Amino acid sequence: MSEALDELFLFGEEKMEKAITQLHREFASVRTGRANPLVLDKVVVDYYGAPTQLRQMSQVSVQEGTTLVITPYDKSVLKEIEKAIIKADLGVNPNSDGICIRLNFPPLTEESRKLIVKDVKKMGEDAKVAVRNARRDMTDDLKKIEKEENLPEDMVKDVQDKIQKLTDKYTGIVDSEVTAKEKEVLTV
């Protein structure tokens, strides 16, 4: 195989891998039945004029599986942290005692679990679209390489089959990740 074809697969697989990584990031912020510090990843606090991630400016611990305890390193920003949590719309209200903030995650109802599963499926579908877009880009690049290097037809067909196998592999990964996350959300 030519160097151009090697690069084609290298970049294509990298794009597909990024789609899986993004899916994991999105799944981390999905609320399940347990308190998970990763739901705070999208909380950004205005810290002396600079947007700062909450987890960079405080210690976060899980208490009894359903409560997150947020202890800021600088107690003077408690109010700002509360505002940022409310603004992030996590579905829970912060309770402050002047030293730390507690977020109590009530158990999910069956209805809310089904809504979350719906969101999980949409995230999975978005990841599959990203994988298919990477396939499209690879196919477009293959056509350019075919013209530039005058590749034989059977070689082009083999490369197209490899691109499809790679796409199938990554859509399979997305499907299994979505199934695992659904199971986690639906487990009471």
| Local structure of 124: helix, strand or coil | helix
Question: Which of 8-12, 41-45, 127-131, 150-154 is the most confident on average?
Answer: 127-131
172 vs 186 pLDDT, higher one: 172
- Mark whether 173 and 125 lie in a shared domain: yes
Would you place residue 113 in the very low, low, confident or very high pLDDT band (cuts 50, 70, 90)?
Answer: confident
Q: Are 159 and 5 in contact (CB under 8 A)?
A: yes
Domain boundary among 104, 126, 152: 104
Which pLDDT tens digit goes with each residue over 138-162? 999 999 988 888 888 899 899 999 9
pLDDT reported for residue 1: 60
Give the count of domains, the chain.
Answer: 2
For residues 91 and 125, membership in a common domain is answered with no
Confidence check: pLDDT of 59 > 80: yes
Which DSSP category does 98 fall into? S
Least confident of 25-29, 129-133, 137-141: 25-29
CB-based burial, 95-114: b 16+ in 10 Å, e otherwise: eeeeebbebebeebeeeebe
Residue 81 has pLDDT above 70, yes or no: yes
Asked whether the CA dihedral 16, 19, 24, 27 is positive or negative, the reply is negative
* Final residue belonging to a domain, choices 61, 77, 104: 104
Confidence of residue 171 (pLDDT cuts 50, 70, 90): very high
Read off the CATH number of the domain in which 176 is found.
Answer: 1.10.132.20
Q: What percent of the chain has pLDDT over 90?
A: 38
Q: Residue 188's pLDDT band (boundaries 50, 70, 90)?
A: low
Residue range of the domain that includes 157: 3-28+109-186
Tokens representing 26 are 């999105």
113 and 24: one domain?
Answer: yes
Handedness of CA 29, 31, 37, 42 (dihedral sign): positive
Domain stop point among 104, 132, 151: 104
Q: How far apart are CA 53 and CA 71, in angstroms?
A: 14
